[in-house]
Amino acid sequence: MASAQQTFKPCHTSNGTNCIPEAGASNSAKISVAAATTTEVIPLVTGKQIYITSFDMMASNTNNVKLVYGTGVACGTGTTDLTGAYPLIAQAGISKGNGTGVILFVPSGNALCLTASGSSLVAGSVSYAQY
């Protein structure tokens, strides 16, 4: 009798009950925004979650940026803040994570987007796993 094959994902727990899957980055996407807008960085995949393992970004001039998620064009539907606004100044940036553990989580069926308040260039990258 053949047994059903299972996929095992190691977990990290804080209370011994809830499982947060361990994720190493298997994908990356560029961040490149030069307008006061919300721009899609990682497209949604129906039934899949996005596990962000690192990101970095730098601004060419003063700009407030935040990561958000949602559906529709450029996360225009159900937009939810994933981070607070980072107040970046010229030639300054932020970097979080090292690609080997989850630092931010986007629920199933949502895209990851970046919202910028100014028209200066914000560039960088995000590493993630999606399953």
Q: Which domains does the chain have, with CATH numbers?
A: 23-130 (2.60.120)
Mean pLDDT, all residues of the chain: 87
Across the range 55-75, mean pLDDT stands at 96
Which token pair is 82? 């994933």
Please write the tens of the pLDDT for every residue from 35-54.
Answer: 999 999 999 999 999 999 99
Res. 9: pLDDT tops 90: no
Res. 100: pLDDT tops 80: yes
**Lowest mean pLDDT, pick from 19-28, 81-90, 117-126:** 19-28
Predicted local confidence at residue 99, as pLDDT? 85
Q: What pTM does this model have?
A: 0.82
Q: Is the dihedral of CA 35, 98, 68, 128 positive or negative?
A: positive
Which token pair is 27? 């994908």
What span, in angstroms and rounded, lies between the C-alpha atoms of 110 and 18?
22
Residue 124: other Cβ atoms inside 10 A: 20
Amino acid present at 71: T
**How far is C-alpha 93 from the geometric centre of its chain's CA atoms?**
16
Q: Per DSSP, what are the bridge partners of residue 124?
A: 31, 57
